[in-house]
Amino acid sequence: MTNIALGRNICNDFKLAAAHEWLVTNNIGGYASGTICNANTRRYHGLLMAAFTPSVARTLLVAALDIVVRYGAEEYRLSTHEFTDGTVDPHGYLQLESFHLDDGMPVWRYAIADALIEKRVLMQPGKNTTYVNFSVLRASDALDLELTPLCTYRDYHIHSNGGWDMDVREIPHGFEINAFPGARSYWVICTDATFTRDPAWYWHFKHRVESARGLDGSEDLFRPGRFTLRLTAGKQATVVLSAESNTPKDIAIVQAQAGKQRTVQLKILPADAPDWVQQLTLAADQFIVDRYWDGQLTGKTIIAGYPWFSDWGRDTMIALPGLTLATQRFDAAASILRAFAEHVSEGMLPNRFSDSMEKPEYNSVDATLWYFHAIDQYTQQCGNLELAAELYPMLRDIIDWHQRGTRFGIKVDSQDGLLSAGEEGVQLTWMDAKVGDWVVTPRIGKAIEVNALWYNALHVMSTLATHLGTYAEAADYQYAALQVKKSFQRFWNEARGCLYDVIDGPEGELGADGRNYDSRLRPNQLFAVSLPHSPMEAAQQKSIVDVCARELLTSHGLRSLARGEPGYVSHYQGSPLQRDRAYHQGTVWAWLIGPFIDAHYRVYKDKSIAITFLKPLALHLSTDCVGNISEIFDAEPPFAARGCFSQAWSVAELLRTWMKLKAHKISLQTNHHTGRKHVKKNTHDNACQKNQKVWRRTPAYASAER
């Protein structure tokens, strides 16, 4: 694949280089991340962010590696730092000739007179270990390198002040650090270098992004000592940063392992997949990680976003089709679905697992309903009914809980079959911003996307029950779905030609029936068109898509609230309070481009138009966090990226949507033997179908095809 590459016009401009980030992960929740100029601008940046209890308990151990090169009579400092007094020093970014991704791996090239030095960073899959490799691509003389690790030991959310005693023990070719009694030991080793112990603290590094977000932006870092080594043209050396006692010292082993993994990932793509789709496929792997609970491996899960999210139930189920099914990682998908099933309580899927491994939080009405959609998509694309049959009793129990009522006022209204949810002070939908006790977008009542998901879930259960031979249950679910479909017309806003966002809640305009109708234009109504089973008539579907396209669509996703609506905020900036006010009040969400395209394609049946909506976000892969898709964007041009710089459902929805449109592509080809034309539909191998019972679609599924 062609690499994403940045030249001197970006690399040698401090502000631009500091605004371009990179990320590598280890598939257990740990990662390494920073900017292309090597100045850490976030508390979440560092070369070794270990996940001590996968996929959580993230701890920053090594923040940076200062690099000094002596070549001939000159000294070149290749690092860059910004300090709280505004000083930027040194200016190593000026020596940076280029930055690029090599099959997802970040690569820096520094030009020093006639010498060219390459630096690469990668992590060992499944281990809290980072490798920083240096190789001399060309030089007419030897280069002397001095490498200085800058260390700490802190939770990744919280800055710490320096000055405490860190125990540094010299070992062959490096050192071991014990930061304080009870802390986990970690090691830094370079077998080609000599280590000299020289402990000292460096003070007041500035994290400019944290300061801009209204948070503490100051960090102190510890220098254990220095590595010195000499390299000539064609030679290389690797610094190993690890919280593992049995780490391979040879980077070639890890490179081969990572390369094999990338080859497997890319092999599933069609031969004509563009570069940006290949990069999305590599980015997808970053989010699929091992999850442990009470010290035991419980299966796979999905990190919602880097650098600060852990695994969330809602995000996991939305992202699962794009990250696992589109990439044919059916085993991972099944593992995730089973792992979350273990934590279902009172008919609810966990919304969030905390970093501290406390009890799961269940404050979500839609995470559980997305679970039905994920299982349905797995069953269809895998071609196997066994997992759905295994989980069916639990799914039936979930439906029962929702019908009789569960936490937070989640209950089916027996009068109309619609699902109501919400209590004062609790945020239950995906629009879940909360400041203290203030819920910014409470959406208490019958939310449109919740009921679209509920309708879809009832159809999924009816079809599953039919296949499993429980025909009476299938009829019950079908009857409940018909009641919901009939009642769904209450959401129709005739005056605006779209759907109310919430009905029967405490907010909105009073209707003729004495109930409230929230007419604020939001993208949530798209799910009543985009999900496999839609309760809306064709003319209504088209009107919904057209209204959302005109009022909410941007180059990078959909606004969460239309311009002109009360509470609209154009930019996601400022203090935590200001940002939370804006989070769902206009801010653009990249992941919503997926359901928009699904809905648009359902209405217009035009793949060539549908795919054009993906192109601007494909260009985003070369900005911000290079090779990744951000969580959110400002609601107005230039739609600056905000929030997490690498978001699971953003990547997933782009990848899923492209793969879906590709799979639906039909081309006419001439049979050279008969002269006749025939229709050839592009398909891909489905490893899950081999030697397994194949899922047969019922008429209910066939009618839902877009």
Give the pLDDT confidence of 577-606 residue by residue, as tens digits. 999 999 999 999 999 999 999 999 999 999
Q: Tell me which long-range contacts 478-485 makes (C-beta under 8 A, separation of at least 24).
A: 480/403, 480/417, 481/455, 481/533, 483/416, 483/417, 484/416, 484/417, 484/418, 484/451, 484/454, 484/455, 484/458, 484/535, 485/455, 485/535
The confidence score (pLDDT) of residue 700 equals 34
- To which residue do tokens 């240096």 refer? 134
Those residues whose C-beta lies under 8 Å from the C-beta of residue 87, and which sit 6 or more positions away, are none
Q: What are phi and psi of 406, to 5 degrees?
A: -135, -155
* Within a domain: 684: no
Those residues whose C-beta lies under 8 Å from the C-beta of residue 690, and which sit 6 or more positions away, are none
Q: For residue 450, how far is the Cα from the chain centroid?
A: 22
Mean residue pLDDT of the chain comes to 91
- Same-domain pairing of 233 and 158: yes
At 118 the three-state DSSP class reads strand
- Same-domain pairing of 352 and 242: no
Tell me the residue type at 215: L
Enclosing H/E stretch for 702 = helix 699-704
Euclidean distance between CA atoms 524 and 369, whole angstroms: 14
The confidence score (pLDDT) of residue 55 equals 79
Q: Which of residues 666 and 644 earns the better pLDDT score?
A: 644
118 pLDDT exceeds 60? yes
| For residue 699, cis peptide bond before it (omega within 30 degrees of 0) | no
Q: Which of residues 662 and 56 earns the better pLDDT score?
A: 662
Contact between 599 and 553 under an 8 Å Cβ cutoff? The reply is: no
* Structural domain ending residue among the three candidates 211, 226, 260: 260
692 pLDDT exceeds 80? no
- What does DSSP say about strands 174-178 and 167-171: parallel, antiparallel, or unpaired? antiparallel
- To which residue do tokens 């919901």 refer? 484
At 219 the three-state DSSP class reads strand
- Same-domain pairing of 192 and 332: no
Q: Which of residues 271 and 531 earns the better pLDDT score?
A: 531
Predicted confidence band of residue 665 (pLDDT cuts 50, 70, 90): low
Closest to 524 in 3D by CA, of 423, 459, 431, 597: 431
The confidence score (pLDDT) of residue 671 equals 33
- Same-domain pairing of 360 and 323: yes
The confidence score (pLDDT) of residue 108 equals 98
Closest to 358 in 3D by CA, of 293, 451, 454: 293
The confidence score (pLDDT) of residue 81 equals 98
- Of 84-98, 248-262, 441-455, the poorest mean pLDDT is in 248-262
- Same-domain pairing of 246 and 322: no
* Within a domain: 676: no
633 pLDDT exceeds 70? yes
* Structural domain ending residue among the three candidates 235, 260, 285: 260
- Same-domain pairing of 276 and 406: yes
* Within a domain: 698: no
The confidence score (pLDDT) of residue 332 equals 95
At 95 the three-state DSSP class reads helix
The confidence score (pLDDT) of residue 202 equals 97
For the four alpha carbons of 390, 393, 399 and 401, in that order, the dihedral sign comes to negative
Distances (CA, A) of 278 to 265, 267, 499, 589, 611: 9, 10, 37, 22, 16
- To which residue do tokens 């980015």 refer? 283
- Quote the tokens at residue 516: 């409230």
- Same-domain pairing of 521 and 546: yes
- What does DSSP say about strands 21-25 and 105-112: parallel, antiparallel, or unpaired? unpaired
**77 half-sphere exposure, CB direction, 13 A CA radius:** 10
The confidence score (pLDDT) of residue 57 equals 85
At 468 the three-state DSSP class reads coil
**Percent of residues, the chain, with pLDDT higher than 70:** 91
The confidence score (pLDDT) of residue 680 equals 34
Contact between 659 and 678 under an 8 Å Cβ cutoff? The reply is: no
659 pLDDT exceeds 70? yes
Q: Which of residues 566 and 250 earns the better pLDDT score?
A: 566
The confidence score (pLDDT) of residue 682 equals 37
681 pLDDT exceeds 60? no
Closest to 237 in 3D by CA, of 280, 199, 194: 194
The confidence score (pLDDT) of residue 666 equals 32
Give the pLDDT confidence of 266-319 residue by residue, as tens digits. 778 888 899 999 999 999 999 999 987 777 788 899 999 999 998 899 999 999
Predicted confidence band of residue 355 (pLDDT cuts 50, 70, 90): low
The confidence score (pLDDT) of residue 698 equals 37
- Same-domain pairing of 173 and 290: no
- Same-domain pairing of 401 and 513: yes
Query: Helix 330-341 crosses helix 313-320 at what angle (to 10 degrees)?
Result: 150
Q: What is the mean pLDDT of residues 613-642?
A: 97
Distances (CA, A) of 666 to 300, 672, 675, 706: 35, 19, 19, 14
- Same-domain pairing of 243 and 321: no
The confidence score (pLDDT) of residue 690 equals 42
687 pLDDT exceeds 80? no
* Within a domain: 247: yes
User: If you write DSSP's letter for every residue of 248-292 in order, what string do you get?
Assistant: -S-HHHHHHHHHHHHHHHHHTS-TT--HHHHHHHHHHGGGEEEEE
Contact between 99 and 108 under an 8 Å Cβ cutoff? The reply is: yes
- Quote the tokens at residue 488: 């769904």
* Within a domain: 339: yes
* Structural domain ending residue among the three candidates 260, 278, 305: 260
- Same-domain pairing of 273 and 245: no
- CATH number of the structural domain spanning residue 463: 1.50.10.10
The confidence score (pLDDT) of residue 248 equals 62
Q: How does DSSP classify residue 235?
A: -
* Within a domain: 552: yes
Closest to 535 in 3D by CA, of 457, 600, 610: 457
Q: What is the mean pLDDT of residues 328-351?
A: 95
- Same-domain pairing of 78 and 216: yes
The confidence score (pLDDT) of residue 154 equals 96
185 pLDDT exceeds 60? yes
Q: Which pTM value belongs to this model?
A: 0.92
At 439 the three-state DSSP class reads strand
* Within a domain: 695: no
Q: Name the residue range of residue 467's domain.
A: 268-669
* Within a domain: 205: yes
> What counts of helices (H) and strands (E) characterise the chain?
19, 40
Closest to 335 in 3D by CA, of 27, 553, 125: 27
547 pLDDT exceeds 70? yes
What is the distance in angstroms between the CA of the first residue and the CA of the last residue of the chain? 32
Counted domains in the chain: 2
Predicted confidence band of residue 164 (pLDDT cuts 50, 70, 90): very high
Euclidean distance between CA atoms 13 and 19, whole angstroms: 10
- CATH number of the structural domain spanning residue 150: 2.70.98
343 pLDDT exceeds 80? yes
Contact between 452 and 527 under an 8 Å Cβ cutoff? The reply is: yes
Give the pLDDT confidence of 360-403 residue by residue, as tens digits. 889 999 999 999 999 999 999 998 899 999 999 999 999 999 99
Give the pLDDT confidence of 464-475 residue by residue, as tens digits. 999 999 999 999
Euclidean distance between CA atoms 82 and 91, whole angstroms: 10
